[in-house]
Amino acid sequence: MAALMQKSALTRPAVANRAGRRAVVVRAAADRKLWAPGVVAPDYLKGELAGDYGWDPLGLGADPVALRWYRQSELVHARWAMLGVAGVLVQEVVKPDVYFYEAGLPQNLPEPFTNVNMGGLLAWEFILMHWVEVRRWQDYKNFGSVNEDPIFKGNKVPNPEMGYPGGIFDPLGFSKGNLKELQTKEIKNGRLAMIAYMGFVLQAQATGKGPLAALSAHLSNPFGNNILKNIGTCTVPHSVNVQGLEIPLSCLWPGQQ
């Protein structure tokens, strides 16, 4: 009997410790912002990544190696999308007579780019973007291995965290403040920009107008110019001729050309 009481006394602290840990986890989960009230985040999404609100319905991030790559891919797409959305809007304000969907055609480019060889330009873009992406992949596989400039040796970026090189890429020193808060703001704006850009593209294909022109048309006639009215419409031609090269086109939007 005495041995049983001694064993019970020894196990009580362990049970209390487990209960205490569970209470801490519950409190942490309650304090964490999730994508909807009352939802439970997957075990592998611990809130460590900026913008992690426990949303992964397909379980794509269950593999930690894949999750790291998805985060880097999301960052790159988010940053390009923010640049793209800003570019489309500024271009429509500055040159409203040029439809953003056709802004890249040679005749719509500013001097001296109107006579540029588009095939050569695309080839150079492919080579340079391929080089950049290979360097990014190398950094992902071996973090910090590409911090040094490959041409001007001795020039390095601090790169404290993958995807956030710092140094000359942070001229205003924002990273010296609350970096996690800034990372969260960036990824949230980037996600909105990705959705916005896809909206611009689908809207342009359906209406043949830029986002500001389409917004103006909708506000002038909300019941006549809206998504329900535009379903099944596609204004994109079957092909476009660029310097003698016939490029086939298609619509992402379901509709007839």
Binding residues for chlorophyll a: 55, 74, 77, 186, 189, 191, 203, 218
Q: Which residues line the annotated binding site for chlorophyll b? A: 79, 185
The residues facing 247 across adjacent strands are 240
**Which token pair is 84?**
């793209």
Q: What whole-number distance in Å separates Cα of residue 14 and Cα of residue 3?
A: 18
**Which token pair is 181?**
């808060």
Q: Which residues line the annotated binding site? A: 55, 74, 77, 79, 185-186, 189, 191, 203, 218
